[in-house]
Structure 1
Amino acid sequence: MDIIHLCHLSESDLHLPVYLTSAGQWNHQDPVHRPDGFASYQWLMILSGEGAVHVDERIYSAKAGQAICLFPNVPHRYHAIQEPWKLMFISMEGSLCPTLLAQAGIMKSGVYNILNADKMQADLANIITGAGSNDNHTNLECSKLLYSLLLDIPSHIHATQHTRHQHFERLQPVTRYIKEHCHQPLTIQLLAEQAGITPQYLCLLFKKAFNIRPMEYVNRERIQFSKELMVLEPQLQIQEIASRSGFEHTSYYCTVFKRLEGISPEKFKKSHSY
């Protein structure tokens, strides 16, 4: 079951050295796109599945046994690669947040390997449970738990420095091109040219970086593009949405949409019509 707790902070709570602003758990994290970032520090612990995190002009893989740290007001987006992408999350503020994170070598947003995932998961579960209580000392108790978690982070993590990131970096021109041109006709040859590599090597890099084929990545971006169209231009018919999102055939668009989103485009459109 999904859980989310938003903290109601008093004036005195805002003077704590670290304090919680939200906490919870998603059984499957939906795609998130924040062009202006988020107001608080975020810490997301991956419990199952795998996702891609786009931040600071890089793409990270985030899977079970890893955690995502996102700094305030930094543009970012993330989405599932392997579903269900289940995670626990907290958001936090306070003057000591940057100092305590820096002690762990965390100076900017990124993805980190957790050396003792069970311990961190238990600590986060305690924070989430605490955030759900309604007594007068909830925020103070959560601050204590949060402070303890932040002190333990240096013993829990080390930055992910492995060859997969090299694959992400090599694919940056390709993924950027796909995002900007996903509504246009795209071929493997055209995508390979963006990175100056052969189509065969492009497919290999996508497999190693994302565990999917290049055109599957294109389809994911096209589906995201189509969802934005539905929200921004609700008067459009499904056939036109499919065409404007880069799909030649409406039936194929509907099949891909249902496979990736779990519902039909018609139902999604209806649920986002106001």
Structure 2
Amino acid sequence: TLTYAVLAEFVQHAVPLKSTRTSKAESRILGLLPQMQQEACQPFLLQDWADMAGVSSYYFCKMFKSAVEMTPMEFITRSRLQMAKQWLLERPTANIGQIAEEAGYPNASYFNRQFLAHEGMTPTDYRGLYHI
């Protein structure tokens, strides 16, 4: 049931990729998405990701926005929040500050603001609402 809830939440916020032809740079960027999502909780260094794609940081941002319809930082934020939501449900005894830190946020206050802005509720409310 928990897996279904996480998948349903992910699908609800998923953005379809464009169906037009993609350039080599866009293909390289799209190829980095799984790794970016997996490493979202680590500090995000734009230049490192641009280097992996073989483009400048400016072009990386431009191609990323074209391919995914959001900025790289928006993608990282969504990925971090998705992981945090999963951990909130999987680890009911973990405190919010610990989950915020593990999700890559510098403090619980900033995490709470980001969570509220994207989810419309606090992490504590989310945990209470969806806890199974």
TM-score normalized by the length of structure 1: 0.41
Aligned to 1:217: 75
| In 1, Cα distance between equivalents of 2:105 and 2:67 | 25
| In 1, Cα distance between equivalents of 2:34 and 2:131 | 30
Aligned to 1:271: 129
Aligned residues: 124
- Please give the per-residue CA displacement for 1:145-188, whole angstroms capped at 9, x wherever unaligned: xxxxxxxxxxxxxxx3x24x446523123312211111111211
Aligned to 2:32: 174
Q: Are 1:31 and 2:31 matched, yes or no?
A: no
| In 1, Cα distance between equivalents of 2:120 and 2:28 | 31
Query: Which has the larger share of strand?
Result: 1
Aligned to 1:245: 103
Aligned to 2:15: 52
- Please give the per-residue CA displacement for 1:84-114, whole angstroms capped at 9, x wherever unaligned: xxxxxxxxxxxxxxxxxxxxxxxxxxxxxxx
Aligned to 1:192: 50
Contact 2:43 2:104 in 1 (8 A): yes
Shift in Å, 1:195: 1.2
RMSD: 2.3
Which amino acid counterpart does residue 15 of structure 2 have in structure 1?
A
Are residues 223 and 203 of structure 1, via their aligned partners in 2, closer, same or farther at CA, if it must alter by over 3 Å? same
Shift in Å, 1:267: 0.6
| In 2, Cα distance between equivalents of 1:201 and 1:216 | 16
TM-score normalized by the length of structure 2: 0.80
Aligned to 1:228: 86
| In 2, Cα distance between equivalents of 1:191 and 1:233 | 31
| In 1, Cα distance between equivalents of 2:51 and 2:111 | 26
- Please give the per-residue CA displacement for 1:36-71, whole angstroms capped at 9, x wherever unaligned: xxxxxxxxxxxxxx9424xxxxxx24xxxxxxxxxx
Higher relative contact order at CA 8 Å, sep ≥6: structure 1 or structure 2? 2
Pairing of 1:23-102 with structure 2 (within 5 A):
30-32=9-11, 51-53=14-16, 60-61=17-18
Shift in Å, 1:219: 0.4
Shift in Å, 1:200: 0.8
Aligned to 1:128: none
Which amino acid counterpart does residue 42 of structure 2 have in structure 1?
Q
Are residues 260 and 168 of structure 1, via their aligned partners in 2, closer, same or farther at CA, if it must alter by over 3 Å? farther
| In 2, Cα distance between equivalents of 1:268 and 1:181 | 24
Percent identity over the alignment?
25
Aligned to 1:259: 117
Query: Which has the larger share of helix?
Result: 2
Contact 2:30 2:67 in 1 (8 A): no
Shift in Å, 1:252: 1.7
Aligned to 1:207: 65
Unmatched 5+ residue regions in structure 1? 1-28, 34-49, 54-59, 62-159
Pairing of 1:88-167 with structure 2 (within 5 A):
160=19, 162-163=20-21, 165-166=22-23
Contact 1:258 1:265 in 2 (8 A): yes
